[in-house]
């Protein structure tokens, strides 16, 4: 079985000198990291002597409980999925495949303005729905859109209850008022998004690369 420390070494030696990556243990995080995580992950697998590499992308402020696995894909070597520590020129080959199959995509995905479009290109359809569109609309300050999505039917709807659990009645007021929501409630929305983001960062070990910045919502109060 490949050991974690061996993965750490491969990650560091193959990607550690790329200017816009920060390598920490088994993760290589794209810089800058604000509201969106963009990373390369090295993972052990059940096949002894091999490991896997994947890229992942996703917003940090969606009440997640770990790494933001919204978009992503395996980075396979030309002969198959798993990588072997015994491969000749392993670190050079890892770097070549990561540059060819992941870095260009991740560099395009760092902006909130283009987040939804990026997700629609790179995520499975089941990952998208009113809940996702609503939370992005809140972050961007488009509260009429958020209210509309929160009133959408179906199992994927992002209803008011998730916000109500953190601030009593906040989700109901957003759903009912949309862009007419007052400044105090807008501040509460921003505070909630920042709380969710900090929690995701802590759980996903991205703190060494993450920098807290305001949401566009905060320009509206």
Structure tokens at 74: 């395996």
User: What SS3 class is residue 45?
Assistant: coil
Asked whether 54 and 74 are in contact (CB, 8 A), the reply is: yes
Structure tokens at 191: 């505070």
CA–CA dist 5, 94 (Å, integer)? 17
Give the pLDDT confidence score for residue 16 in this predicted structure: 97
Give the pLDDT confidence score for residue 156 in this predicted structure: 45
Asked whether 186 and 193 are in contact (CB, 8 A), the reply is: no
Nearest to 135 by CA among 91, 81, 189: 189
Residue 28 phi, psi dihedral angles, 5° rounding: -115, 115
Per-residue pLDDT of the chain (221 residues; tens, 9 = 90+): 899 999 999 999 999 999 999 999 999 999 999 999 999 999 998 888 899 999 999 899 987 656 666 788 999 988 777 899 999 999 999 999 999 999 999 999 999 999 888 988 887 655 567 778 888 999 999 999 999 988 875 544 567 888 888 899 999 999 999 999 999 999 999 999 999 999 989 888 888 899 999 999 999 88
- Extents of the domains making up the chain: 4-110, 116-220
Nearest to 132 by CA among 154, 157, 153: 157
CA–CA dist 69, 183 (Å, integer)? 33
Structure tokens at 51: 């490991």
What residues have CB less than 8 Å from 183, skipping those under 6 apart?
221
Distances (CA, A) of 86 to 41, 81, 94, 152, 204: 19, 15, 13, 53, 29
This prediction has a pTM of: 0.89
Distances (CA, A) of 182 to 107, 133, 143, 147, 198: 36, 21, 11, 14, 25
Nearest to 127 by CA among 199, 68, 39: 68
User: What SS3 class is residue 170?
Assistant: helix
Nearest to 83 by CA among 38, 171, 92, 12: 92
Give the pLDDT confidence score for residue 155 in this predicted structure: 44
Which contacts (CB < 8 Å, 24+ apart) does range 123-127 have?
Answer: 123/70, 123/71, 127/70, 127/71
């Amino acid at each position: 079985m490949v050991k974690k420390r061996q993965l750490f070494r491969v990650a560091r030696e193959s990607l550690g000198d790329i200017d816009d990556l920060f390598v920490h243990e088994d993760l290589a995080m794209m810089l800058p990291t604000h509201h969106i995580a963009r990373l390369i992950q090295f993972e052990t697998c059940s096949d002894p002597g091999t490991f896997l590499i994947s890229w992942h992308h996703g917003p940090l402020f969606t009440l997640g409980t770990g790494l933001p696995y919204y978009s992503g894909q395996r980075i396979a070597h030309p002969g198959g999925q798993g990588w072997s520590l015994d491969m000749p020129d392993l670190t050079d080959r890892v770097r070549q495949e990561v540059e060819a199959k992941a870095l260009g995509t991740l560099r395009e995905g760092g902006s909130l303005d283009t987040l939804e479009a990026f997700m629609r290109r790179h995520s499975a359809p089941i990952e998208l729905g009113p809940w996702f569109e609503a939370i992005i609309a809140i972050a961007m300050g488009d509260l009429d859109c958020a209210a509309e999505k929160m009133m959408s039917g179906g199992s994927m709807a992002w209803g008011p209850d998730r916000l109500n659990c953190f601030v009593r009645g906040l989700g109901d007021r957003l759903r009912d008022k949309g862009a007419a929501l007052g400044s105090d409630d807008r501040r509460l929305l921003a505070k909630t998004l920042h709380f969710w983001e900090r929690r995701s960062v802590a759980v996903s070990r991205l703190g060494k690369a993450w920098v807290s910045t305001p949401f566009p919502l905060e320009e509206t109060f």
